[in-house]
Each structure stands twice: as C-alpha cells, then as structure tokens.
Chains A and B, each alone.
Chain A
C-alpha cells in the first residue's frame, strides 16, 4: 500500500506565487525524496532530505522534514509556467534495507497560470 499521502491533490496558482505541497508517511525512513513528473514523461529528482535533516534548499525549492509528525513539505517560490507538473514525495523506508525501494505518494498536480 502507498505509504505517502499528499495534499492538496491539485493546486492552481498564478505565475509568481508560491506553491506549497505536503506529504505524510507512515514508517521510519532513511530519507524522503521529491520528484517532478511532466505529462507523459519520467520522474525528475528534485531534492533528497535525510532523516536527520530538517530543512534543505535547492534554488527556488525548499523542503522541510518533521520526523516526529512523519511529514514533509515542498515549497516552490516565485513559480513559473514551466513548473506545471505533478510532484511526488517518495520515502526510502528503514525497513527496505537500502534496496532502492521507494514508496510514493499519490502526487500533487500543480498548474501555474501565466
């Protein structure tokens, strides 16, 4: 079963606004990763945050992790039309033993209007 739950399922904003997506998971993790998927394409890795980290930045992206609440958030600042895509969180559970098994959330579909 899916470990990650994301909200909102869909988000529509204007260019220049910020977008925040949230992810919750169920079991202890090694790390949590965020991916982007454009329609009909593969997944693009955005950020990996380890279980002992609380916040990480990459360009316009900011990810937070709260292991006590088993939740994470992805903030995209100053959004652009090109950010329109689906965003997925994925957890690398401790129980998977580094076998490459990622458990994905259902994703948030982001639409950025020009």
Chain B
C-alpha cells in the first residue's frame, strides 16, 4: 500500500506570493491533518479535514487555509507569504476519526521563502 504522498517536495517562493501544497492520503484513509515544522516552534498543528469538512484548526492566521476533495486528497494554501512561513509542511492521514488511531505522515514539502 502506498504511503502518504506530498507534492512538491521542495518549493521556493518570494514574499507576498501564494502557494498550494498537495497531499494524497493512504488509500482508504479519509482523515487528513496538516502540520508545520520549524526549528523555533517545532511541530504545530494546522488543521484536520474529514469528509471534505474542516474539523479543527490550529492557531495560525487566516492566510493558511485548506480543503479536502471527495477522494480524500487535500490541499493547503498559504497566501501573502512571509519569511516566517519557511518550514517543512507535513501531511498525515488516518482511516477515520475514531479515537486512538496513529497518524501516518508523508515526507513533507519544504517551503523556502526568499
């Protein structure tokens, strides 16, 4: 079974631009979560989607948004990029929203803002 796939792996943008990152969950997994990882703040939860609905959102500005499609694939968008948005963005999937399920992570998209 293929794992979580994130594209692209690397991305370079400049301040003020916007970016869209993509995540394909493990086949059959319907819940997708996004995390931001930086050296200073560590791993921080962005949001979770299930059945095309956002179920929870972390403490990030409105410039960070996401969506989920009917095939469970998810995208996240960051508008008006700032230098501080440089990070590794990780996507994770799990079968559904029942309790006590591990999350399976992709290798991430490394976003660099110049």
Task: Using CB atoms and an 8 Å cutoff, list the residues of chain A in contact with chain B.
Answer: 2, 30-31, 33, 35, 40-45, 48, 50, 88, 90, 92, 96-107
Contacts and interface: CB of A to CB of B under 8 A. Distances in A.
Those 9 A-B pairs whose CB atoms lie nearest each other, nearest first: A99-B56, A100-B48, A104-B43, A42-B105, A43-B105, A45-B102, A42-B107, A100-B33, A99-B55
A2 B108 CA distance: 21
A97 B57 CA distance: 12
B62 interface: no
Nearest to B99: A98
A50 B101 CA distance: 10
**Size range of the chain B interface in the assembly:** 20 to 34
A92 B58 CA distance: 14
B21 interface: no
B43 A101 contact: no
User: Which of A41, A43, A92 has the most CB atoms of chain B within a 10 A radius of its CB?
Assistant: A43
Given A43-B90, A100-B94, A101-B48, A48 B102 contact: yes
10 contacts: A30-B99, A40-B110, A42-B6, A43-B92, A48-B102, A96-B56, A102-B45, A103-B45, A104-B44, A107-B42
Contacts of B108: 41-42
B79 interface: no
A101 B42 contact: no
B73 to A, nearest CB: 16
Interface string B87-114: 0001010100111111111111010000
B31 A100 contact: yes
Interface string B66-95: 000000000000000000000000101010
B100 A88 contact: no
A101 B98 CA distance: 13
Nearest to B104: A45
Contact of B97 (A41, A42, A99): A99
A16 to B, nearest CB: 29
A31 B100 contact: yes
Contacts of B42: 2, 104-107
